[in-house]
Amino acid sequence: MSAGTALRAALIAALMLPLVPILVWSVARGWFFPDLVPARWSLAPWIAALRPGSDALAAAGESLAVAGAATAIALVVGLPAARALALHRFRGRRAVLALVAAPLLLPGIAVAMGLHPVFLALGLGPGRAGVILVHLVPTLPYMILSLMVVFAAYDIGFEDQARSLGAGPVAAFRHVALPMLLPGILAGAAFAFLVSWGQYLLTLVIGGGRVQTLPLALYSYAAAGRNDLAAVLAVLSVLPGALMLAVAAGRLRGRTAPLR
């Protein structure tokens, strides 16, 4: 085994090790100290969580709807913002960058409690619309900062050449810039989706408990002592990140494979 293979195996093991107890709990029928393994095994938690009309599936669907909408809005807003911040120098640029990064530096509880009365005054809470908008607070900075890295390595001269040949601004961006920027855009969207997918505090405060996403359902089951169902929901919560990591690893492996 080469050193690179051993290093990758060690990294995968380090990433997967914390998930082992969760996976065991999801198929355990009671697991008590000092037993190293459960005395009984059962798929009942998975059957209960995945049956049609279950609270777990409803929470997963709600998380998918909220995270998808928040990611789409963050992309629409963040793409032109990142382009302007990365490709142009203007007065106040540093202040704008500081404002963009500010939500990442503030405690989540402070953001949630500060925005709660504002959203109530605007009639945006409690409900899905308010939750989607408040998820832009953490997702939009990730989107903008990720896309700024993409635009920093982008040569706007390609668009200028397309426009000199008769293409309009929209056509130049669609047919020239977008194919070049698409991998970075997808990466930024993936970051934003995962940030929104895992939001608990903002969803709880702004949603008022009426918007039951997967993190809220997970904490509810854990607080009620239903470790088996909580473990199932934890596995479901990890799936999007695991799938995106697998896709990214596959793309990197394809790019770094030696020529034959």
The tokens of 162 are what? 């397309």
Residues 5, 11, 13, 17: what is their CA dihedral angle, to the nearest 10 degrees? 180
CATH topology of domain 57-253: MetI-like fold (1.10.3720)
CB 145 within 8 A of CB 100: yes
pLDDT at 245 over 80: no
CB 18 within 8 A of CB 28: no
pLDDT value at 37 more than 60: yes
Q: State pTM to two decimals.
A: 0.83
Domain boundaries, the chain: 57-253
Q: What is the pLDDT of residues 2-32, one digit of tens each?
A: 776 778 778 777 877 878 888 888 888 777 7
- As a whole number, the mean pLDDT across the chain is 85
Mean pLDDT of 110-118: 87
| pLDDT higher than 50, residue 260 | no
pLDDT recorded at residue 177? 82
Q: Which residues contact 169 (CB under 8 A, 6 or more apart)?
A: 163
